[in-house]
A and B are shown apart, each in its own frame.
Chain A
């Protein structure tokens, strides 16, 4: 009898272990793969380039708990470890200043794709979402789909700071119902970066660069540079992107157009501004003035190398690209000069806010009002903005600080000393000329079509601009 009992037990154990074996095997494998894939995307992915994700080569699942253990406990997710470090520092300050409303936050850093997938899934499921979460600009339309049912509006919490914030930037993070759901880190104003050290060797002075107003002037200066260096193979004035739509955004902002059509409109990619920019880019590639950016845009390893090799000496990019110089191209210190972007016709707006991270408070939060207050304090107050500029190197949205001597000309800030001029001097100059392109539901489709097909067709395969834009419009219209 004993023997039989034993054998019964053994077979039961066997069945049980087989079951758990099957279960965990099936559950774990894809998750592990996904995590690794996500990390990679953050390092080189196209989406990451739109924001400030590239410095986010964080370990998967870096978890830290900071703050007052007796305070309200919250969860916060980000895809960039530096962001979480920033919030943790601001949390200490918040707790000191608000002893009656202390918070303890568990910060988790996930890889880019994983974090957004997890957030969307938990919001859809109605459970498991964090109290606060970073959302990258490209992902904003997905997360904003459930505006008021998923997210908590920040309008009340940001009231003390809203007056100083750049309105066009706040607008970019508004939901379709007009409420503010995301708090921005930076303006992401596009500017033109010039390698002055190389240009001076070719006899081009800072005054020449400052004299550039229109794209024609810009191209003319480029020809002058190429003539001066004897047009060697592999050297170009600039590089145009096939895996990013920054150039098209600049063009649209200059003409005050927007291909998304806003929240209620129909998307239209066949805009005059877009056509002009693409035609110009195509001409440049054909004439040898510009090359196509290696791997598609300048915010990738190959792009950094291309800049370091001085294959290109100027390019337009958002202000947050400054941190790429510090992190990936430190040997370029003192060489680069930041200037306004050229325009098509004198008098147009010359900049547009690109990329960014909007931080949201979810409705699932244990105390959404408190979370919103902390978030706005961290990302919009002068204290918070100073830390953002010093530690993260972003062009902050609090315009009151832009002309503050102690802030904008602080010599202990590495960004202020890296370039030939003070970044905020340029920003102050273009303060009223920073346009906004909306990021709405159709935006990911437009970006995808342009980065995958349209830009490659026009700039790599020489397809006619009108023809390529018609094809893009057909795809976009299908999704409307």
Chain B
């Protein structure tokens, strides 16, 4: 009878239902997070871990390669915000309007890249941007009458290649987020606006954008994090964590290089922790400014 009481208890049931999440969260997030914090103050070597205080962090301050990585990741993140919020939003509005035919096909086309493996697509993009004259981009350059160009050796074009991979891959996903946000907007609002004589732009500006705000904030938050933690795209584009003049080095790429390739888990943990703190600060500031934490918004 006790079991029956337990199972039907309204106090216990919620905990049973959230237990799987709590467990996996503890196992795969809390525990690694704690050990990362611990290891960032250690030197993890063959003889075991040794406490070194703030040595890893003071070295990070002097490490110019790490500074390059931060600069690259920040730049990349800002560009993804510029490219991956307005355009997917515009596409979503188009998809939701009567202007587009065969919407299913378009949606599928835009979403398809997200399903492909970054490893395969990254390799294909690397071959396309090859500096040799047979690379796709150089073939196009030749057709336009220009000479060959070393795409992945120059900062600007390297970043461009990364952003192209990123947009190709994530435009469809962000568009779906915005589409679901659009579906939640009551059609009656648009109808009444039409009766009041609003044109298409006014409807977009004064109905769509404000009511999409929760979706936009969500997309913004995950984009900040995804931009800062980008790794696979650059790893595949330059066939490894190394790139000429470190133009493709990201924070996670540097973490991988230190922690995995060079087996300096302590120093790698310090890099990871800096990334976490950066992403947290940017997102908290952004969420506060957007008013997400205000009571009336709930």
Known: A142-B263, A456-B245. A15 touches B46 (CB 8 A): no
**In chain A between 422 and 480, which residues have their CB closer than 8 angstroms to a CB of chain B?**
444, 448, 451-453, 456-457, 460-461, 474-475, 478
Whether A176 sits at the interface, judged by CB under 8 Å, is no
Whether B109 sits at the interface, judged by CB under 8 Å, is no
Chain A residues whose C-beta falls within 8 Å of the C-beta of B21 in the assembled complex: 22
Chain B residues whose C-beta falls within 8 Å of the C-beta of A444 in the assembled complex: 261-262
* Contact across chains for A478 and B20 when beta carbons are under 8 A apart: no
* Contact across chains for A478 and B62 when beta carbons are under 8 A apart: yes
| B4 to A: closest C-beta gap in Å | 7
Known: A4-B4, A452-B244. A40 touches B239 (CB 8 A): yes
Chain A residues whose C-beta falls within 8 Å of the C-beta of B263 in the assembled complex: 120, 124, 142, 145
* Contact across chains for A45 and B20 when beta carbons are under 8 A apart: no
Instruction: Give Cα A117–Cα B240 distance, bound, in whole angstroms.
Output: 14
* Contact across chains for B20 and A15 when beta carbons are under 8 A apart: yes
B residues contacting the other copy or chain, number (CB 8 A): 48
* Contact across chains for A294 and B132 when beta carbons are under 8 A apart: yes
* Contact across chains for A18 and B20 when beta carbons are under 8 A apart: yes
Task: Choose one: B45, B65, B130, B236; the contact of A295 (CB below 8 Å).
Answer: B130
* Contact across chains for A15 and B59 when beta carbons are under 8 A apart: no
* Contact across chains for A46 and B240 when beta carbons are under 8 A apart: yes
* Contact across chains for B20 and A22 when beta carbons are under 8 A apart: yes
* Contact across chains for B132 and A295 when beta carbons are under 8 A apart: yes
* Contact across chains for A41 and B240 when beta carbons are under 8 A apart: yes
Instruction: Give Cα A37–Cα B241 distance, bound, in whole angstroms.
Output: 11
Whether A8 sits at the interface, judged by CB under 8 Å, is yes
* Contact across chains for B236 and A40 when beta carbons are under 8 A apart: yes
Instruction: Give Cα A8–Cα B240 distance, bound, in whole angstroms.
Output: 51
Q: Which residue of A lies closest to B27 (CB)?
A: A23
| B134 to A: closest C-beta gap in Å | 7
Number of A-B contacts (CB under 8 A): 111
Whether B260 sits at the interface, judged by CB under 8 Å, is yes
* Contact across chains for B246 and A149 when beta carbons are under 8 A apart: no
Contact with A along B9-27 (1 / 0, CB 8 A): 0000000110111011001
Whether B131 sits at the interface, judged by CB under 8 Å, is yes
Contact with A along B225-245 (1 / 0, CB 8 A): 000000010011001101111
* Contact across chains for B132 and A453 when beta carbons are under 8 A apart: no
Q: Which residue of B lies closest to A23 (CB)?
A: B24
* Contact across chains for B240 and A19 when beta carbons are under 8 A apart: no
Whether B209 sits at the interface, judged by CB under 8 Å, is no
Whether B282 sits at the interface, judged by CB under 8 Å, is no
* Contact across chains for B132 and A305 when beta carbons are under 8 A apart: yes
* Contact across chains for A22 and B132 when beta carbons are under 8 A apart: no
Instruction: Give Cα A142–Cα B24 distance, bound, in whole angstroms.
Output: 33
Whether B123 sits at the interface, judged by CB under 8 Å, is yes
Instruction: Give Cα A243–Cα B131 distance, bound, in whole angstroms.
Output: 14
Q: Besides A46-B242, A145-B263, 12 other CB < 8 A contacts?
A: A8-B3, A15-B19, A18-B20, A36-B120, A37-B232, A40-B123, A41-B239, A45-B239, A302-B131, A305-B134, A448-B242, A452-B249
6 examples of A-B residue contacts, CB within 8 angstroms: A19-B24, A36-B117, A37-B232, A45-B239, A295-B130, A295-B131
Q: Which residues of A contact B (CB under 8 A)?
A: 4, 8, 11, 15, 18-19, 22-23, 26, 33, 36-37, 40-41, 44-47, 113, 117, 120, 123-124, 142, 145-146, 149-150, 242-243, 294-296, 302, 305-306, 444, 448, 451-453, 456-457, 460-461, 474-475, 478
